[in-house]
Amino acid sequence: MQTEVGKRFETVLYDVKGNVAVITLNRPKQLNAINEQLTYDVCDALDHAERDKDVKAVVLTGSNNNFSAGVDLKEAFGMPSPIGQEPSEVWREHLESLLRVSLKMWDLKKPVIAAVDGYALGGAADWVFAADLAIASNDAIIGEPEIRFGAAPPTLMMPWIVGMRKAKELLFTGDSVDAQEGYRIGIYNRVVSQEKLLNEAIDLGERMAKIPTSALKITKVTINKIYEMMNIKDALDFNLEAAISMFFLNPEKNVAEVGKTIRENGLRAFVDKANEGFNDKNKEE
């Protein structure tokens, strides 16, 4: 497929392949962790895709065999409070930026397909849940480990995707799931090999491109409206307030320990720690 070079961004790559825009999270040294600039760039890239009349579908993926390890906790735990601004308001702005991306995908008039390889954790998992469809590689690992260090998912999308019982199990334990389990519980539409992942997502987008644009848009809006009538957006707003409360009820010592671990050992070590037991559990199965 011919690739057109699109607009340049600081932390994402943007290409158009046929009728499909491919937005690639591109902070590979940080496992594509989500910092403030990345949220801005993803929103801008989605806007760019929506304005392009030749683009009929969007694929969101990550570089270097990882979707994203989630929020860049090194940045998040080091956020200064400007003079006169409460720490809770700084944290609110941080959570709102993550929610903004989820809602941008939700409200986009074109279908968004998440192509997930490697880690998709925390805030990044929420983005996968917010996409219209999701395809995983065999190596994908998705989860919301935040409760293990006293935090909450920034966007509580999981219950709407996997149902209440499974969501409670995963959110109460902080456990992650592999690609096949993710497929079984409804997170993914399909699972493919790593080398086929991006092409599979683009091919699915091209199939949608054959549908009349107005029909595709109306169908997405109509399906989403059903969930909005069940107050999904109100629920997401409520979760934002709950997440702020949980963070500031967390003992200061625990917060400091998380920050210290990331500074001393790096983000990858912290991600591995947050998913401790995941590989052992898979071996047992």
C-beta separation of 120 from 177 below 8 A? no
Q: Which residues contact 65 (CB under 8 A, 6 or more apart)?
A: 117, 118, 139, 194
C-beta separation of 68 from 31 below 8 A? yes
Quick one: pLDDT band at residue 63, thresholds 50, 70, 90? very high
Q: What percentage of the chain exceeds 70 in pLDDT?
A: 78
Active site residues: 146
pLDDT for 95 equals 81
Burial of 273 per CB tally in 10 Å (0-12, 13-18, 19+): middle
pLDDT at 4 over 50: no
pLDDT for 151 equals 76
pLDDT at 188 over 70: yes
Per-residue pLDDT tens over the stretch 70-106: 988 777 655 554 544 555 566 677 788 899 999 999 9
pTM of the model: 0.84
| DSSP letters spanning 199-224 | HHHHHHHHHHHTS-HHHHHHHHHHHH
In CATH terms, the fold of domain 3-284 is 2-enoyl-CoA Hydratase; Chain A, domain 1 (3.90.226)
In the chain, where the domains are located: 3-284
Per-residue pLDDT tens over the stretch 24-51: 999 999 999 999 999 999 999 999 999 9
